[in-house]
Structure 1
Amino acid sequence: FNDKSTYNRLKNTARATFQGSETTLSPLEIYDLPKSAQGKVLHLPKLDVKNNDLRTLLFHGLYSGANQSFGSLITADELSLIASLPQHELQGVRRRKSVEFIVDLPDINEGKSLKLGTVIDHGRPYPNNPVHLSKSELNKHVFVTGVTGAGKTTTCLNLLLEAELPFLVIEPAKTEYRELNKHLSTVQFYRPNGDDYQSLRINPFALIRKEQRIKSHAGFLKNVFTTIFPMEASMPMMVEAAILASYEEKGWDIDENEFLGEGDPFAPETRAWPTMGDMIRQLDVLMPTYNIGKELEEKYRGSLVSRLRSLTDGTLGRVLDVPQSIDFVQLLKQQAVIELEELQGGEEKALMMALLLGNLNEAIRSIYAVDKDFRQLTLIEEAHRLLSRPSSDDKAAMMAVEAFANMLAEVRKYGAGMIIADQIPAKLIPDVIKNTHTKIVHRLFAEDDRRAMGEAMMMTEEQRNFLPNLGTGEAVIFCGGWHGPAHTKIRNDLAQTDNTSQLDLPACSIKQLWNERKRYYPNFCQLGWLTTHLDDSKLFAQFIRETQQAQNQFLRLTSLTDTKNKELYFKLLKKWLNFWQPIAEEFSEFQQIENKDNWPNNLLAAAWLALLLDANPKAKAQEKNVHAISDNCILFLISVADFFIELLSNSNMLQDFNNGINNLKNKDTTRNHKDAIRNLIKFIEQLQKIKSI
């Protein structure tokens, strides 16, 4: 064409004609050919393939240099039939579904945010388009979901590592969070029932804040037991009454919320808090007063008292039936993981999760009262164990679960952010999903799960149906204030869950026990032996464990029923004595401690007594009205402890020990000596009512 403007109009007309009205990712372009191409436009290149040479086919052009002198113009649609990729999946050619998500995310200051990953647009990740979450909004809570192996744990690890905040992880089933130890050397790992030293202890009845009301706390504990254990009719009311009665027995005026005994109730040595054993004993005593009939009473006793008693006798006995809890305020100020893997029962795991969250709620309020800027994260794995949707018929359980959900929603104003992770979102009560500001969804298959998350994340039906197609490490993310969900490739350069970190768990437990020694063993710490220098921490933990074992062996030695193994128990006691007596004799500072007159002269006898006072000996079930260690029992032990250790030292055989007591009974001795023997006999009679230390 000599008229260039006419040529351009014709060119644009042709482009519009062939392009059509549809929008495509690659618009049609028209290229001007050089004059040398005139007359050759409709020529097609001639290909030359010799002997099916694969190397030539794969790595070299097939153009022979000659052209076929025929050809035809075709439309774009016709060309797509010839030259496009396969429309259906073929062997060796995988076809992946692509759905449109938002790609233009709100701008967030990178210095005040954490990088979670990068945007994926139609299957293609864009490293230059990162997905950031604001750190200041973490206390509005995060919900993470997805099937096993989809990448939930990696996402949660990224959140914890990048947030740079104190955190608490409650993990019911796995040990993958030990990966944190590779990145943060200060992380503490607690393992209830998997730890020989039981460094994590929770007395459900111990208050944390002085402002806490006993009646409100009793209501919380009632909700805990109602959520975990199926209850009918008046069972929750009976449990609450038993809880309040156990506080009154300890010297509390529950109406005035005042401790009537001596000392500070929050001081460990005061022993002002009831224990699980105290509450169960009160429940057993109160049950006949309800006049519900013998048959119903026996049914309640069998289903309720027996089930609660399993908490003191079973795997959780050394964790929950204790005088004092771990320092929850300090626990929230550090980075910690609580692994519940060793607890086999689902009820036990759910109970531990409920008690941990209740104490977290009170501890975060206590911290906020003195530090308004404090921020902390708590990650709850497998949240359905505690926050699952109860049946509509179980009104008590429904109210209890809603109370927990409300508690989690309220802690945000005190600076605590919750990261709730679960595989089955449809099982959870709706408030858990609704009350989270950030939602992260990995691969989900079930329709009810996809619908629950899609409705909360502004997903279209097409986006919701795409969730089963998410690859491992991919997620759909939605935050409050976004105009839609974003398809994201989660970063995996921070944490890996395939190779878990190797930890020296016993050393970790010993360190934790040492840090809590003044709370768990206030009387023993008064002696100043093995509790002053950090170098003694391992020996301290060993003495605590072996002395508790020796005390249980002494219980069996004095038992009226277990007669077969008494020789064995005596030998084990002698072994304990022979090992620890020389070590105790080296500690000369014992004679200079304060209140020396309140302790036996022999340090080992004093240590034995101190650990008895610090422990929570468990009375036998039939001893309903007997405290495990009464004041009289303590006085008996103080008067005979030296005598007991001396007699054990001088006895080579069990018969010598028994003969020594019998001979002293008949011997003409001083009055003080006879009083000591009489008190020893009374002390043994008291011990026969105790089943374990």
Structure 2
Amino acid sequence: MTPRDRNIWEEKIADLRRYDLDELDVRPVDASSLTSWPIPDMTFVRIDGVLRSWDIEREKNQQQNQPQQGQDQDPSKPPKRMYLSEDALTGLHSQKANLAFLVLGSKTGVKYYMGVQIPGDGTNGDGESSKMVSYDSLKSIMHSVYNGVDIASEPFDSEQLQEQVAPLARHCGLVTGIPALKSTAGDTIESEQIERLANGLQGHDFGFLVLAIPIPNHKVSKEEFLIVDQIQRAQENEDPEKKRRIKYYLELQDSYLKHIQLGTAVGMWLTGVYFFAADRSVFVRLQSLIRATYVDETSRPTPLRTHEIKGLGPHIQQFGLLRNKRSDEIFQELLEYKFLSPLSSRTLSAFVHLPKREMPGFRIRRSAEFSLAPIPPKDPTRTIAIGNILDRGMDTGNLYHIDVDALQKHTIVCGVTGGGKTNTCFYLLGQLWNYKIPFMVIEPAKSEYRHMMLMSETFKGVGQAFSLGDETVSPFRLNPFEIMKGVKVQTHLDALKSVFNASFEMYSPMPQVLEKALNEIYNVRGWDLVNNTNRRLPPGMMPGDPDCPSEIYPTMKDLYEIIDPVVESFGYSERIGPDVQAALKARIGSLLIGGKGQMLNTRRSIPPEALFKRPTVIELKMVSEDSEKSFLMGMLLVFLYEYREALGPHDNLQHVMLIEEAHRLLKNVPTAQSGDSANPAGKAVEFFTNMLAEIRSYGQGFIIADQIPNKLAPEALKNTNLKVMHRIVAVDDRDSMGGAMNLDDIQKRHATALGQGRALVYAEKMEQPFHLQIVFDKTKEVPPPETPAESDQVVRDAMKGLDIVGKFDRHLGCNFCLHRCDAAILDTAIPVADDPLFRQVYNRYVLSTLKDLTQLVHFRAQIIHEIQRVIGGRARSGNITGITWCVLTQATERYFERKGEENYWFYDQVREQHLRWLNLLKPAFQPTEVN
């Protein structure tokens, strides 16, 4: 039916249904007749992703193939709200913003751009450009609607995007009419309309552009009154021949009225929609996808149409709205433009929204809800910050603080490698020192903390770092058998036993033999284990006194040498006895090799005051065996506990110990003991976990850092107040931490998606954990040296003033030595001093010389000959003097120690005899002055 043949009602129906657009199929548009309004000064943002809450129930339903009930649209009613973008469009409409939404597909993925141009004088009154005003407004609205939306850091202008559009705008078309808001929530795989469009052309080059300008509210209201008036007139018409047409017209007008009424509430837009592609086949597919995605029975009163039009390219490239007016009769003022459609913010959201599912070029980040309102600290002047509070991934600008003294109740920091665990620990330690609270870091595998301790302005001049087992960098001295003043020897023995059992694999009867051996070495040194006294100390002197001789303490070598006689005393069979001897001596002997021997086989430890009153780092990476690392960590923990216990209880935080890879010591092993077998490892772990629970009363806090919380003893999780969980992937680890942090299933799942430097934090009195961003960056604070050699030199230079080797002599004779603890000399000398035949020769030499001093020089050649016999070709040229003196120093100490034990000499008497003999030897074997 041509327009001439239509009656008035048919004309009105044609106006609402836009039958004039159907003529484009037979009479194409002349490209030269197209005119457009370019939208000026557009500012675009690229949207790279959004945040989406974990919806476990929906995923379960999809996995079980049980679709949820979808949203059924009633054609006679306004479309239901479906997309969050409706809120953004409503907000932009209120600002009278001109809008562009651009989707660009390529082989690598799909990119989404949103652009606006907010009318004004070019500035916001503060001198800020209109570009930045538009950028900030758009970001603000997008963040309010899509919490956690990922927007590119820099805005784009129209020219930048026109360069990307131009190559694609070879085959172009436009969309007219009202799109349907179609839900796929009833399907097993839910998807949004825009992502169905993008998924259908994934890997192809295409474009989809939506341009919209706000229609003033007064025009929309005028259209509303006009429709009401037209409906009333139609209802008053009683022409029976046109009754069916009038009824259809009224149905269309009713749909249009609801469309306009919705627009008066949420905003109305004059909209132009383009689609384009460089390849003809892609363009055809895009056109069919648009119709499949946006057409259904709810596209009323104007159905959605797609049109291929030649000559659209230049208009698309300049973001122009076609302003060609209709040539046929119109009855609705908002339908005056041939290629533009009046759409409410709700219907426009069918075109302008973001995907719900991830695709190449668009990232979906998952989120969960966490606490946002922290409990105020008790003392606001004495707090440390943990990080910035996040709300669904976005920084709220509020810091989460915790009372400094809350760290007295211990902390655990966990997370996989690269999650930010060490960075968090750096941040906590730096703030602790602001309150002059010292700490110790035990670092088993890396050397990350040394740079903070020795190079940062915060710790320069007070921090110290020790490289355990590496005598060439920063030597350390620790005698596990030394007892602090105020500590009972039996208590220390029990702790020693627990450290050995926790560190080394012990099978029955090794723990029983070890326990007896530990008791024996103290008995030999004159200790009364019941009364906590030493019978070989002079009257009036007590263990731990400043002038107490170091000889009262056993050494690791003493323990090694006493194993054989102790095993023999048990009377084991020929099969069991040697096995026990070999196993125990292998474990203890490993602690006497190389740098470990120089560190542990010593009389005196570095004083606890020197270790626990300054920021200190203990590095264990040069100790390769895990069991040996565990032993050293355990001994440091024991000494700390004894030191704090001796100082007494304290209400405020006095010291913090940070243990990296704490599972080496606090292992997750059964602590129960059956009636048939012993469980030394379990009992040892129980000893340390009990120590953690008790030590807090002395003002001591612990920070336990570990990658795998499931490897930790459960008590280590339970007995910590502050819990900081960085990214964790494994289900069992998330369950372990989640149970201790009151996490629900969604929050536990979110732990797998935490970005670097982000963490879930929980402490006492919380109902829910916080999601935080740690604001500290350790690499900016202290850039590490470029090479390990440079790093070692930094430590060496910083620590040389302590002179550990000079101050902590292994033997009394070291005071006369020109080669203090030269590793090559020491390693060569030890086997000689331990050689049974050499011991016999040297003992005879001492006895004969003490009877006749002329024998001192007479038998000198024989002593040197015996030394050379044992070492063979191992002596380096020019070092025989150093080796000889080192051998004599060790052999002399052993000789006079045995004499003192046999004759019950006081230690000052032994020392007097020992020093007298060294002065006799010196001229013959070491012609130097005493230092």
Report the TM-score range of the alignment, normalised by the length of the smaller protein. 0.7 to 0.9
Aligned to 2:666: 387
- Whether the 8 Å CA contact 1:179–1:497 is kept in 2: the answer is no
Aligned to 1:396: 680
1:352 shift after superposition: 0.6
Aligned to 1:240: 515
1:25 shift after superposition: 11
1:335-386 CA distances to partner (integer Å, 9 max, x unpaired)? 11001011111111111101111111111223447x8756111100000111
Secondary structure at the residue paired with 2:417? coil
Secondary structure at the residue paired with 1:116? strand
Aligned to 1:377: 656
1:203 to 479, 483, 500: 479
- Whether the 8 Å CA contact 1:437–1:480 is kept in 2: the answer is yes
1:44 shift after superposition: 3.3
- Whether the 8 Å CA contact 1:523–1:614 is kept in 2: the answer is no
Q: Equivalents in 2 of 1:43, 1:479: separation in Å?
A: 51
Tell me which amino acid in the other structure corresponds to 1:157: F
- Whether the 8 Å CA contact 2:473–2:795 is kept in 1: the answer is no
Q: Equivalents in 2 of 1:166, 1:508: separation in Å?
A: 18
2:801 to 487, 511, 523: 511
Secondary structure at the residue paired with 1:194? coil
Aligned to 1:456: 740
1:479 shift after superposition: 1.0
Matches within 5 A, 1:398-417: 398-417=682-701
1:56 shift after superposition: 6.7
Aligned to 1:123: 393
Aligned to 1:468: 752
- Whether the 8 Å CA contact 1:97–1:469 is kept in 2: the answer is yes
Tell me which amino acid in the other structure corresponds to 2:922: A
Tell me which amino acid in the other structure corresponds to 2:361: G
Whether 2:874 is the aligned partner of 1:571: answer: no
Q: Equivalents in 2 of 1:19, 1:95: separation in Å?
A: 25
Whether 2:817 is the aligned partner of 1:544: answer: no
Aligned to 2:761: 477
Tell me which amino acid in the other structure corresponds to 1:196: T
1:157-196 CA distances to partner (integer Å, 9 max, x unpaired)? 0000011220100000011112313321121010011223
Tell me which amino acid in the other structure corresponds to 2:925: F
Whether 2:397 is the aligned partner of 1:133: answer: no
Q: Equivalents in 2 of 1:132, 1:615: separation in Å?
A: 60
CA change 1:610–1:279 in 2 (3 A) is: closer
Secondary structure at the residue paired with 1:45? strand
Higher Cα radius of gyration:
2
Q: Equivalents in 1 of 2:532, 2:727: separation in Å?
A: 50
Aligned to 1:146: 415
CA change 1:281–1:498 in 2 (3 A) is: same
Tell me which amino acid in the other structure corresponds to 2:602: V
Secondary structure at the residue paired with 1:87? coil
Whether 2:784 is the aligned partner of 1:500: answer: yes
Q: Equivalents in 2 of 1:45, 1:615: separation in Å?
A: 101
Q: Equivalents in 2 of 1:442, 1:71: separation in Å?
A: 50
1:408 shift after superposition: 1.7
1:443 shift after superposition: 0.5
- Whether the 8 Å CA contact 2:271–2:343 is kept in 1: the answer is no
1:445 to 723, 729, 744: 729
Percent of matched pairs sharing the same residue: 27
CA change 1:395–1:422 in 2 (3 A) is: same
Matches within 5 A, 1:279-428: 279-313=559-593, 315-368=595-648, 375-391=654-670, 395-428=679-712
Q: Equivalents in 2 of 1:25, 1:333: separation in Å?
A: 61
Q: Equivalents in 2 of 1:641, 1:290: separation in Å?
A: 43
Aligned to 2:535: 260
CA change 1:609–1:497 in 2 (3 A) is: same
Secondary structure at the residue paired with 2:685? helix
Q: Equivalents in 1 of 2:352, 2:903: separation in Å?
A: 90
- Whether the 8 Å CA contact 1:311–1:320 is kept in 2: the answer is yes
Q: Equivalents in 2 of 1:311, 1:285: separation in Å?
A: 20
1:63 to 313, 321, 340: 321
Range with bigger deviation, 498-507 or 475-484? 498-507
1:72 shift after superposition: 6.9
Secondary structure at the residue paired with 1:111? coil
Tell me which amino acid in the other structure corresponds to 1:205: F
CA change 1:189–1:56 in 2 (3 A) is: farther
Q: Equivalents in 2 of 1:215, 1:36: separation in Å?
A: 94
1:645-684 CA distances to partner (integer Å, 9 max, x unpaired)? 45x99xxxxxxxxxxxxxxxxxxxxxxxxxxxxxxxxxxx
Matches within 5 A, 1:19-58: 33-37=216-220, 38-39=222-223, 44-46=270-272, 57=317
Secondary structure at the residue paired with 1:179? helix
Normalising to structure 1: TM-score of the pair?
A: 0.74
Range with bigger deviation, 262-271 or 328-337? 262-271
Gaps of 5+ in 2: 1-76, 95-214, 225-259, 261-267, 277-309, 325-336, 786-790, 834-863
1:545 shift after superposition: 3.6
Tell me which amino acid in the other structure corresponds to 2:270: L
Secondary structure at the residue paired with 1:97? strand
2:464 to 188, 191, 195: 188
CA RMSD, 1 decimal = 4.2
- Whether the 8 Å CA contact 1:117–1:491 is kept in 2: the answer is yes
Tell me which amino acid in the other structure corresponds to 1:513: D
Aligned to 1:683: none
Secondary structure at the residue paired with 2:669? coil
- Whether the 8 Å CA contact 1:384–1:427 is kept in 2: the answer is yes
2:870 to 562, 567, 588: 562
Range with bigger deviation, 19-28 or 307-316? 19-28
1:26 shift after superposition: 5.2
1:278 shift after superposition: 1.1
Q: Equivalents in 2 of 1:562, 1:230: separation in Å?
A: 34
Secondary structure at the residue paired with 1:231? coil
Q: Equivalents in 2 of 1:635, 1:615: separation in Å?
A: 11
Q: Equivalents in 1 of 2:492, 2:868: separation in Å?
A: 41
1:611 shift after superposition: 11
Gaps of 5+ in 1: 1-15, 530-539, 578-604, 650-693
Range with bigger deviation, 321-330 or 152-161? 321-330
Whether 2:407 is the aligned partner of 1:111: answer: no
Whether 2:440 is the aligned partner of 1:168: answer: yes
Matches within 5 A, 1:79-118: 80-108=349-377, 110-118=380-388
Q: Equivalents in 1 of 2:903, 2:779: separation in Å?
A: 53
1:315 shift after superposition: 4.6
1:45 shift after superposition: 3.3
Secondary structure at the residue paired with 1:388? coil
Normalising to structure 2: TM-score of the pair?
A: 0.56
1:223 shift after superposition: 1.0
- Whether the 8 Å CA contact 2:368–2:747 is kept in 1: the answer is yes
- Whether the 8 Å CA contact 2:270–2:343 is kept in 1: the answer is no
Q: Equivalents in 2 of 1:616, 1:437: separation in Å?
A: 50
Tell me which amino acid in the other structure corresponds to 1:188: Q
1:129 shift after superposition: 1.4
- Whether the 8 Å CA contact 1:277–1:618 is kept in 2: the answer is no
- Whether the 8 Å CA contact 1:329–1:364 is kept in 2: the answer is no
Higher relative contact order (CA 8 A, sep 6+): 1
1:19 shift after superposition: 7.9
Q: Equivalents in 2 of 1:552, 1:287: separation in Å?
A: 29
Aligned to 2:504: 229
- Whether the 8 Å CA contact 1:198–1:319 is kept in 2: the answer is no
CA change 1:303–1:25 in 2 (3 A) is: farther
1:400 shift after superposition: 0.8
- Whether the 8 Å CA contact 2:489–2:529 is kept in 1: the answer is yes
